[in-house]
Structure 1
Amino acid sequence: MNSFQFQRISNWLIDGAWSSVEPAEMIADFCERLVAAGLPLWRFGIFIRTLHPEIFGRNFIWKQGEDVEIGSVDFEILETPEFARSPLRVVFEQGLEVRGRANDPDGKRFPFLDDMRAEGATDYIAVPVPFLDGSIHATSWITQHPGGFSDDDIAAIRAIIAPLARVSEIISLRRTAEMLLDTYVGNRAGARILGGQIRRGHTDTMQAAIWLSDLRGFTALSDRLPAETVVEILNGYFDCQVTAIRGHGGEVLKFMGDGLLAVFPIDEYVGDAAHVCARVLEAARESRASVEALAHPVGDAVERFRFGVALHVGNILYGNIGGGNRLDFTCIGPAVNLAARLEKITARLGRTVVASEGFANVCRHDWHELGEFPIAGFSKAQRVYGLAEETPVVMA
């Protein structure tokens, strides 16, 4: 390799790979610079483990003449035969390099290398990428050059790992922060927090459709079932709603025991309130069907479930609220309070879905007026609506 060009690549990484905006672009730029410097690279992969409840890691695969392929794998991969026989398992678990030259008998223990040889690969090396927190990630380097990588090539690969690790760790930490914020506070709130809206009192007024739901009979359920079983039930129950809410443009802000608070932002400049509320109603119907189909075996019995959801539309205060250095990014306001009060009425009326007069007026549908009800904290009684398609079921 050209030592001068190699040093420039190293400096470019140390400077933050500033010419590349996206990770995939950075990987492509990095590999092309190495090839231009004389490294006979045909295929490169970097595999970064993530701090995510469902995703074990992400991978970026570059191959000459092709776009960078981006993928992710879940934790189930750890139990697969493919991972058990992968050279990357050695890297992740032992932090060791794995080399596999053509015609190398030791490399036969890795089926992946056989696949690469079938495509003309002559040499392979997997190199650990240590982060400052002690976690081990991995890179793979493959060539089709006759004779494989030279000693100088291998030395260059090992030397470039440290600067590559630093810039990869910075990118990974940023993405981890985004994923954790998305997981724990929602994508809209997460984007605002990451953008610097972190001081107590930072709030915005937003018009939104409000969703507030809870599970029927949860207190009795918690009393008669083991805590572990209750957690399993809650997770399955919330899955029934979160998928529908997010699929229709909503954001889950908070889980409160068996309760769920979500908002569906309305763009006041576009005037899409009717469209947004129609999607909210569709999400409520999907959730109702999913919860009705939910069955959880407990011993010889099967638990079935019902829930109630109140829908309202109005202005909310959305932002940082809390005490000292412990804040919550949430929403408050009379509209949220009214939704919470309406949700309690669902059980009394034996309804799954109830809507405020404001929501029913915006979302034109076959609503059935259920009457006026006094609402604690509100001076006027509130008119409540239910879906004409629903048959009231009063639980004992």
Structure 2
Amino acid sequence: MNVPPDIDSVTTQSGSDVVHWLTNETRDQRFIDNIFAEMCIRLQRSGIPVKRGTLHILIHHPQWLGARMIWADGMREAEIARVDYDVRERSEYIGSSANEIHDGAAEVRENLERDPSLGRKHALYDEMRAKGLTDYVAWPLYHTLGKRHIVTFATDRPGGFDEAHIAGLKSLLPVLALVSEIRVKNRLARTLLETYVGSHAGELILAGATRRGSGTTVRAAIMICDLRDFTRISDSWPRDDVIDLLNDYFDAMSEPIARHGGEILKFIGDGLLAIFPLSQPTACSNLLHAVTEARQAMSALNERNNGTGRAPLNYGIGVHVGDVMYGNIGSRTRLDFTVIGPAVNMASRLEALTKQLGKTVLLSRAFADLVKGDFELEHAGEHEVRGFSEPIELFAYNG
């Protein structure tokens, strides 16, 4: 006589199948959100009645505290929502399961079938009840050195998860922690490189371009921008106001550069260096479009500052085009991924001349020849440029 298998043993075995998949078959998957969505689907197929799952990851990013990945029944991919730094001051966090776990709870379990007046009070639980969910559980997901992230599951099964389901889900946690930590740290490395050296340089470094002296010659349009009278401002303004001013100024300049395909290689005090590689057919035009939008953003910033009694910010931009050496330069233990060469020096000299000539944007003849006819340029004459033997013909751009 055939004896039907015990449902608890089936569920436990099914959880083991998902653990095996996580351990052995996800090595080629780069993104944790895709792994998490497939894991939830596999849990369903294995008999664990997951209807909804979320993964909450704390990340190091200039703009966001973390990311929340949400999967629900019928979805092939998880939705990703960015979480702002001020979330812990908002009602969506206060009193939530995330709040409890970050405060030290080892588990949050909520029976969504019982009278709401007897359970936890939070909008999240009301939303899940409205969707017909019956049970919810959240656990911390431990990464190295005590870093705590969060994973949650919910079901619509009458009576909620049984103990075998909970045991199957718990069996995933150590492996999910390892699998997610690898992907999060890979993403963190990429984010930090993008933040500090730019996306293109970051990709090259991740691909192995880390040897001192390694690099390549790139033909590019080069843009150098510098803030005027910054020494006076930094000496007379409160420190926090100076930092806010610099951040606002760099936002105004940087966002148009990134939007038009440029790459900011470094911030130098109150200045920045950006390139637009000529591998992009419209690189020079893109640079001037970025300058136009940056000037508009600076005008808007000065209007806002004028409303608080602050003096307007003035700046100069020098633009040239030429070959630059793009790669690793520095000491044996500290490298900078940057560009060097006479073309960079020329852009820097032109930026310095903007103050002398009373122009905001100065272009070299070499650059101007590549955009004539598309932009209105003002001839600014020939001028001696320090470090160069011959006078350089210059153009001003007032767009």
TM-score of Structure 1 vs Structure 2, range by shorter chain: over 0.9
Q: Is the 8 A contact 2:11 2:164 kept in 1?
A: no
Partner residue of 1:286 out of 284, 288, 293? 293
2:393 corresponds in structure 1 to 383
| Distance in structure 2 (CA, Å) of the matches to 1:192 and 1:161 | 34
TM-score by length of 1: 0.93
Q: Is the 8 A contact 1:88 1:138 kept in 2?
A: yes
Q: Is the 8 A contact 1:99 1:107 kept in 2?
A: no
What percentage of residue pairs aligned between the two structures are identical?
Answer: 39
1:394 corresponds in structure 2 to none
Partner residue of 1:59 out of 65, 68, 88? 68
Partner residue of 1:250 out of 228, 240, 262? 262
C-alpha change, 1:21 and 1:175, in structure 2 (3 Å) is closer
| Distance in structure 1 (CA, Å) of the matches to 2:363 and 2:308 | 38
| Distance in structure 1 (CA, Å) of the matches to 2:55 and 2:144 | 17
Instruction: Please identify, of 219-228 and 319-328, the stretch whose mean Cα deviation from structure 2 is larger.
Output: 219-228
1:141 corresponds in structure 2 to 153
1:96 corresponds in structure 2 to 106
Q: Which amino acid aligns with 1:371?
A: G
**Secondary structure of the equivalent of 1:362?**
coil
**Secondary structure of the equivalent of 2:310?**
strand
Deviations 1:202-244 (A, max 9, x none): 1011111111010111122122222222111111111110111
Q: Is the 8 A contact 2:108 2:138 kept in 1?
A: yes
| Distance in structure 2 (CA, Å) of the matches to 1:10 and 1:19 | 16
**Secondary structure of the equivalent of 2:311?**
strand
2:96 corresponds in structure 1 to 86
1:393 corresponds in structure 2 to none
Q: Which structure 2 segments of 5+ residues have no match?
A: 1-9
Q: Which amino acid aligns with 2:17?
A: R
Deviations 1:98-133 (A, max 9, x none): 111121655341221111011110100011101112
| Distance in structure 2 (CA, Å) of the matches to 1:90 and 1:188 | 40
Q: Is the 8 A contact 1:20 1:29 kept in 2?
A: no
Residues 63-82 of structure 1: pairs in structure 2 closer than 5 A: 63-67=72-76, 68-82=78-92
RMSD after superposition: 1.8
Deviation at 1:372, TM superposition (A): 1.1
TM-score by length of 2: 0.92
| Distance in structure 1 (CA, Å) of the matches to 2:124 and 2:221 | 51
| Distance in structure 2 (CA, Å) of the matches to 1:169 and 1:287 | 39
Instruction: Please identify, of 231-240 and 62-71, the stretch whose mean Cα deviation from structure 2 is larger.
Output: 62-71
| Distance in structure 2 (CA, Å) of the matches to 1:292 and 1:325 | 42
| Distance in structure 2 (CA, Å) of the matches to 1:108 and 1:3 | 30
| Distance in structure 2 (CA, Å) of the matches to 1:95 and 1:180 | 30
Partner residue of 1:175 out of 182, 187, 202? 187
Q: Is the 8 A contact 1:370 1:385 kept in 2?
A: yes
1:356 corresponds in structure 2 to 364
Deviation at 1:141, TM superposition (A): 0.4
Partner residue of 2:222 out of 191, 210, 223? 210
Deviation at 1:260, TM superposition (A): 0.5
Residues 22-61 of structure 1: pairs in structure 2 closer than 5 A: 22-61=31-70
Deviation at 1:278, TM superposition (A): 1.0
| Distance in structure 2 (CA, Å) of the matches to 1:42 and 1:312 | 58
Deviation at 1:158, TM superposition (A): 1.6
Deviation at 1:6, TM superposition (A): 2.1
Q: Is the 8 A contact 1:254 1:260 kept in 2?
A: yes
Q: Is 2:343 the counterpart of 1:331?
A: no
| Distance in structure 1 (CA, Å) of the matches to 2:65 and 2:140 | 17
| Distance in structure 1 (CA, Å) of the matches to 2:326 and 2:28 | 36
| Distance in structure 2 (CA, Å) of the matches to 1:247 and 1:341 | 26
2:4 corresponds in structure 1 to none
Q: How many residues align?
A: 384
**Secondary structure of the equivalent of 2:67?**
strand
Residues 139-288 of structure 1: pairs in structure 2 closer than 5 A: 139-267=151-279, 272=281, 275-288=282-295
| Distance in structure 1 (CA, Å) of the matches to 2:308 and 2:136 | 54
C-alpha change, 1:19 and 1:189, in structure 2 (3 Å) is closer
1:9 corresponds in structure 2 to 18
| Distance in structure 1 (CA, Å) of the matches to 2:104 and 2:290 | 47
Deviation at 1:4, TM superposition (A): 3.0
Deviations 1:150-189 (A, max 9, x none): 0111122222111000000000000000101100110011
Q: Is the 8 A contact 1:16 1:167 kept in 2?
A: no
Q: Which amino acid aligns with 1:77?
A: V
2:6 corresponds in structure 1 to none
| Distance in structure 1 (CA, Å) of the matches to 2:257 and 2:173 | 43
| Distance in structure 1 (CA, Å) of the matches to 2:43 and 2:218 | 50
Q: Which amino acid aligns with 1:11?
A: H
Deviation at 1:53, TM superposition (A): 1.9
Q: Is the 8 A contact 1:85 1:111 kept in 2?
A: no
| Distance in structure 2 (CA, Å) of the matches to 1:300 and 1:369 | 37
2:119 corresponds in structure 1 to 107
Q: Is the 8 A contact 2:14 2:168 kept in 1?
A: no
| Distance in structure 1 (CA, Å) of the matches to 2:246 and 2:286 | 24
